[in-house]
Structure 1
Amino acid sequence: MEIISVGELKIGMFVSEPDCPWAEFSFALQGFVISTPDQVETFRRKCRFVSIDRSRSLDEHYAPTKHGRDRSLKAAPLTAAVGEEPATARRRFVAPPDAEPRQLRRLRFLNFLHAQQESEPARELAGEIAHIEPRYELLTHSLFDAFDVIARGKDVDLVSIRAGLRDIAGSLQRNPDAVLWLLRLKRRDEYSFDHAMDVAVTMLMLGSHIGWRGPQLIDLGMIGLFQDVGKVELPVDLLSKQSELSAEERQLVRSHVASSMEILLSQTVVTNNVVLAVARHHERWDGSGYPQGLKFEQIGKPAEIAGLADSFCAMLRDKPYRSALGHQEALEELHGLRGKQFNGALIEQFVQCVGLYPIGTLVELNSGEVGVVIQQNRVQRSRPRIVVMLDADKQRVRNYRVIDLRVDAHAKLRIAKALPHNAYGLAANDYYLG
């Protein structure tokens, strides 16, 4: 912390403590980034000095912490009244009450996939799923435990997580469809956890696509897993708020970047490249990002990849303020941001990497039937193999039925559009029958 006179207080500075009681102010938060001249004037009327936190400040007032985490700077929850002892703001990572039945449905669908032996690509996919599934499980358990330990304010050993990322990276290079299937079939229904896995796998895919290998590639996975870990320091009410955020709330959300850096700096196995990319993953190509307003090559390729993957994966999931987009809609939205928020050349590589209808994408056919892509067609990207889930009347089918759009018998069928993951209520059953 740094103590300054109120005469030096500027917009963009994070005020962690005034020299008079917070009860004398009408602010909703105890600790926030100054965003208006009125807030500056209020502090100047009420007190003489304030403590500011450079690691949570913005633009030219920002500077990273040098001494690890300072937990005394955490803001009070939005629901706490001034003077009250704040309730814990940390998110707890718990499995949903119906986790066991969902695991049984997932196992049934995985068994179905393993049984698709009528073609060499299907056999290869089944073999890779069988190989990587136990390793994927170990990684998700390690990450789940790590998130829980961090949420309780303790340090965590990340060595096993790096080892798991090496396994995932190898599988993606052999047969990316296997990991993508597991990513969709084994969600824990906890947004922060599932989003971290989505982003990490997407970053590993893109990194591998552009030729990255070894520790450089594994660092990308680490960035994806932990770039938003600082959100465990934010009030739960703020993260789940349905209405538009106020200026003060937006600034507090932005402070998660500094919190993520502080958490990672306390871990001895995290490289400087990971911390730097986490610090910059909300910077944008045109300078419109935060916390420093960097632009173009100042951002660095790992942070560019992180920001792109983070934005894309968020588009595919329901948020308090926005419904999920379909895969194609999300790509179109990203395409519109070329040369603005994102590097146009990187977006072109990204589109080539993820493809038009990747495995696990929910699609609607021109017949009205709805299904999920179970195998891509590397030659004709628009004609994959699909498992039908709903008939033309949008009623659930009783048994799995596979349609291969490559064969002559289905020449008249085509994909009309990609759908959000929760279309027609299918997300409630994770795309599995009964």
Structure 2
Amino acid sequence: MHNGGMTPRVTRRRALAAAAAAGLGLPAAAEAATTPSRHRGQFQNLRVATYNVSLNRAQEGQLLTDLATGEDPQIRAVAEIIQLNNPDVLLLNEFDHDEDARGVDLFREKYLEVSQHGKSPVFYPYTYTAPVNTGVPSGLDLNRDGTVGGPDDAWGFGEFPGQYGMVVLSRHPILTDEVRTFQELRWADMPSNLLPTEFYGPEISPQLRLSSKSHWDVPVRVGSRTLHVLAAHPTPPSFDGPEKRNQRRNSDEIRLWADYLSPGQRSRWIVDDAGTRGGLAAREQFVILGDLNADPVDGDSWPGAIDQLLDHPRVQDTAPHSEGGTEAAELQGGANAEHTGDPRLDTADFNDAPVPGNLRVDYVLPSRTLQVVSSAVYWPRQGEPGSELTGQYPFPTSDHRLVRVDLQIQS
């Protein structure tokens, strides 16, 4: 089950291109990132990024159609941002999943591996994608409206199976046989959970899945070391009634990783889709990636939701930031004027009236054992190169910004 839909294929052309990438003229924004063949002493530089690309479509198969042309303006702009930032390992959120993973191949072949407005192509010989809960019918009345069917009654909100999916792209080998997925993990199995059983009732509550999309532990081999990419995209803590079911689910989806990083009894309840129990060993290095839909101080999150990771003893927060985030908050006003968080840390440009305003919701959180060189949110100020790619509503790419952290991995 957990290997369904993955794409471990590596073409000779892509492998050679990735190996030769060190010889390419890199864009100025990507100069700090080195490619896999470049070493400094016993350490290897690695740029890791997350990007909610908003490559979701209203109808099943529409993204494949758009990808096949090689000319879709939004997809070209998304690819250009990726080329500018040049990450070595990248998580894409909101990339519609298809059963054969053809969309991932089309995105690489027709967009990433083609220069966008003079930017250097990027090559990712290794990819991973798998089914998600969005749009998968539950057969239950999850929104309690008296009928069964539709996006609100799917295991994760979605118009069709795979909408708002996820993809991991990597220049380094993905250890596909060691990937762990948690698509079917039951919410009720989490001890001391926030599940609103009074809303769902005794029949539905035990069946609910915790992850609105999925949670993946994707091991990536960097030199002689393994880096665990912990990928997720929890549900937004909004569109709720008084039961706050989405706020609660978002917080517990975030807590899943917090428990996973706590070896022993705290992670004993976690069982992956292959039936293996337990969390990540204390000696393992990791980076948490994703649109986690939770701001530390602003927005509608359940109290302390993201703090479960930011304050975790195994996690370091490098606080990636931008000047563009500050400028946007000042120019847009509205809800932003009432925020108490630092706007430099914002990663998403949301509606400013009446709520929620711009928020920090996208995260790259390395383990404390990793050496951090730098970090950033790709959000240029107006008039700066690249600002035409981020823009304002209606966005040329996404309402989210790419977030990156540069690491040094002992090899």
Superposition TM-score, scaled by structure 2 size: 0.28
- Which one has more relative contact order, counting CA pairs under 8 Å at least 6 apart? 2
Q: Select the structure that is richer in helix.
A: 1
> Which protein has the larger Cα radius of gyration, Structure 1 or Structure 2?
1
Q: Select the structure that is richer in strand.
A: 2
